[in-house]
Amino acid sequence: MTITIGQVMDRLLEQTPLIEPTVDSLRAGSAQKEVKGIVVVFMATQAVIERAASLGANLIITHEGTFYRHQENMQGAQDDPVIYEKYNLIDRSGIAIYRYHDHIHRSKPDGITLGLINALGWSPYVEEHLPAATIVQIPCMTLERTVQYLKEKLQIAFVRVVGEREMPCSRIGLLAGYRGGAALVLPLLMDYNLDLIIAGEGPEWETPEYVRDAVHQGRNKAFIALGHAESEEPGMKELAERLREQFPALPVHFIREKPLFFVM
Amino acid sequence: MTITIGQVMDRLLEQTPLIEPTVDSLRAGSAQKEVKGIVVVFMATQAVIERAASLGANLIITHEGTFYRHQENMQGAQDDPVIYEKYNLIDRSGIAIYRYHDHIHRSKPDGITLGLINALGWSPYVEEHLPAATIVQIPCMTLERTVQYLKEKLQIAFVRVVGEREMPCSRIGLLAGYRGGAALVLPLLMDYNLDLIIAGEGPEWETPEYVRDAVHQGRNKAFIALGHAESEEPGMKELAERLREQFPALPVHFIREKPLFFVM
């Protein structure tokens, strides 16, 4: 039985009410084409596209934009040699690229956050799912031990931390992606009496500086920046597992990119 | 001779045409009061305010907002215990806080970027000052050596890097603060044929992912995230030096905060 790209897209969009406007759409390729194989990623990097081609996959489902901007406004960008080469690779390979960002975030609960919680083994500790964060209360660990636990479970090389190593952590707000800003996090810290915020990324002068002041005031607060990709990859990995069940005849690969940054 | 807070503010604003709207204003205290001493900082943290009080200073000039948001909209924020305690400390200490952000950035060249260039000893290598970036062409070093040089000159504990350690770096775009995004950086990389971008911070899925792809395509590109405070402190330190010359009768202290993050 032939499965088209459009059918896979329809299946993805079945999960949640349709959002308008949305960045979720087919950015390259045609919905009518038959799917040979699917690659699911946080971001369709140059290396991911090459790898998808070598795996014989012709549909990439990516969370973030392929061309380095959320809205992927391509005006003038075609003159850029990096973008031009990537664009040509996509064209040549005939691989379709579907952006799946808003709808997975708006699932109830947020499919990206849920992936992170499951990867951490913290689903038994969920207290409340909010639209852009989940509150968990875990058995108490020091901040240092919590960091070790995160790095081990998520297999990440480093995280950035504000707080005191020996601080006890139990009540935690988890915010995958770029949700570490003050507007979202400060009310959470207060209303849910949280010890620790674990976010993908966010502006440094907002929540991290708030936590620095809170610590100086003698409060039990800490902040961990996991990295944007590191916080959202588990949710995309779970999506790949769901697609494998929904389309058992199709090869579905999750590709985890190498770490974006190294620390020196 | 008495010098008022208002006179110091006037002196700061003499350097550049007035900007409207602006976040630069007296956030606490009165312009009529006599200045006893000035503390200049990247950010007026709880620890900085306590230190200013112990130094007998009654005017803090801060680059970033005291209450963790660029616009410092305080609606509802007074319920927050951390903000409340900080607010009370400011009130009790009688220290005035002047935000000096937009006008120093709009100096020609940008006073914050210039501080960074001088701290790096790169002023002989400036090719062009743009409004939000400076292009330098330095004697060629590997990326690894460039990172060591930055860490040594700026006395910073770590930076985050995208690129290959052995890559030669010569043509560099410097962007202090939160200017690492794609809209600003991608045209620079192309138009000025840059090897390396050194920024304070910026969204991870934009420029860093672009550089990752460029490297995978075999191009000589790299990206270094210094940290927001780390990139802007040298400019505020130079401001303190200028104020010391302009007001020789006043004690002027530059306070450098401890690093915001540690890496684990």
Secondary structure, 3-state, B150-167: HHHHHCCCCCEEECCCCC
Cis peptide before B208 (omega within 30 of 0): no
How many whole angstroms from its chain centre is CA A249? 26
Q: Which residues of B touch A231 (CB under 8 A)?
A: none
CB contact under 8 A, A260 and B209: yes
3-class secondary-structure state, position A257 = coil
What is the complex's ipTM, to 2 decimals? 0.97
Å from B160 to nearest chain A CA? 5
Closest residue in A to B81 (Cα) is A190
- Here the tokens at position B163 are 């690129």
Please, which residues bridge with residue B98 across strands? B26, B61
Peptide bond into A139 cis (omega under 30): no
Q: Which residue do the tokens 């020789």 mark?
A: B248
Domain ranges (residues) in chain A: 5-106, 111-230
Rounded to the nearest angstrom, the minimum Cα separation between B19 and chain A is 23
- Of the residues B51, B112, B264, the best mutation for testing chain A's interface (the one with the most A CB atoms within 10 Å of its CB) is B264
Asked if the Cβ–Cβ distance from B205 to A161 is below 8 Å, we say: no
Query: What's the sign of the alpha-carbon dihedral B164, B168, B171, B172?
Result: positive
Out of A162, A228, A264, whose CB is closest to B261?
A162
Which of B254, B213, B263, B217 has its CA nearest to residue B236? B254
Evaluate whether B100 touches B65 at the Cβ level (below 8 Å). no
In this prediction, residue A71 carries a pLDDT of: 80
Strands A262-263 and B160-162 come out as antiparallel
Q: Is the pLDDT of residue A260 over 70?
A: yes
Q: Which of B82, B147, B263 sits opposite A219 (nearest CB)?
A: B82
Topology of B5-106 in CATH?
Answer: 3.40.1390
**What DSSP assignment string belongs to A26-91?**
EEES-TTSBPS-EEEEEE--HHHHHHHHHHT--EEEEEE-TTSSSS---TTGGGSHHHHHHHHHHH
Chain B residues whose beta carbon lies within 8 Å of the beta carbon of residue A204: 201, 227-229, 260-261
Q: Tell me how far apart the alpha carbons of residues B175 and A141 are, in angstroms, rounded to a whole number.
A: 39
Closest-CA residue of chain B to A220: B82
Mean pLDDT of A114-142: 98
Chain A residues inside the 8 Å CB shell of B82? 210, 213-214, 217, 219, 221
Partnered with residue B199 across adjacent β-strands are: B175, B225
Q: Pairing between strand A134-142 and A168-178?
A: antiparallel
Check if the beta carbon of residue A196 is closer than 8 Å to that of residue A137.
no
Nearest to B261 among A160, A183, A217 (CB): A160
A105 CB burial (10 A radius; 0-12, 13-18, 19+): buried
| Paired residues of A61 in beta bridges | A40, A98
What is the count of residue pairs from A and B with beta carbons less than 8 Å apart? 155
A111-230 has the same fold as A5-106: yes
Point out the least confidently predicted range of A13-27, A113-127, A248-262, B228-242. Answer: A13-27
Mutate to test the interface with B, among A212, A224, A226, A228 (most CBs of B within 10 A): A212
Contact B264 A227 (CB under 8 A): no
Which residues does chain B have within 8 Å of residue A188's beta carbon, measured at their own beta carbons?
A: none
**How near does any CA of chain A get to the CA of B157, in Å?**
8
Question: Is A217 in Cβ contact with B46 (below 8 Å)?
Answer: yes
Cβ atoms B255, B132 nearer than 8 A:
no
Chain A nearest C-alpha distance from B261 (Å): 5
Chain A residue with Cα closest to B224? A261
Residue A166 structure tokens: 């020996």
For chain B, how many residues are written? Answer: 264
Each residue's pLDDT tens digit, A226-243: 999 999 999 999 999 999
Architecture of domain B111-230: 3-Layer(aba) Sandwich (3.40)
SS3 A262: strand
Residue among A76, A160, A205 minimizing CB distance to B228: A205
CA distances from A194 to A46, B110, B247 (A): 39, 39, 46
Minimum distance, in Å, between the CA of residue B34 and any CA atom of chain A = 28
C-beta of residue B260 within 8 angstroms of C-beta of residue B157: no
- For position A76, what pLDDT does the model report? 67
Collect all residues with Cβ–Cβ distance below 8 Å to B49 and sequence separation of at least 6: B60, B86, B89, B90, B93, B95
Q: Who among A47, A159, A212 is closest to B216 (CB)?
A: A47
- Integer Cα distance of A230 and A235 in angstroms: 10
Cβ of A45 within 8 Å of Cβ of B213? The answer is yes
pLDDT of B76 reads 67
Closest CA to B184 of B171, B195, B197, B172: B197
CB contact (8 A) between residue B216 and residue A158: no
Q: List average pLDDT for each run of 10 residues in chain B, which is 264 residues long.
A: 95 90 94 98 98 98 94 77 95 97 95 98 98 98 98 98 98 98 96 98 98 98 98 98 97 98 98
- Suggest the residue from B147, B156, B204 to mutate for an interface test with chain A (most A CBs closer than 10 A): B204
Spatial separation of the C-alpha atoms in residues A136 and A100, rounded to whole Å: 26
Chain A residue numbers touching B76 (CB-CB < 8 A): 187
- φ and ψ of A107, to 5 deg: -60, 160
Å between A202 CA and nearest CA of chain B: 8
Q: Are strands A59-64 and A96-99 parallel, antiparallel or unpaired?
A: parallel
Instruction: Sort residue A218 into left (φ over 0), alpha (ψ -120 to 50) or beta.
Output: left
- The answer to whether B243 touches B3, Cβ cutoff 8 Å, is no
Residue A126, helix vs strand vs coil: strand
Please report, as a single letter, which amino acid is at residue B87: Y
Nearest to A68 among B159, B186, B262 (CB): B186
How many residues does the structure list for chain A?
264
Please give the biggest Cα pair distance in chain B.
64
On average, the pLDDT of chain A sits at 96
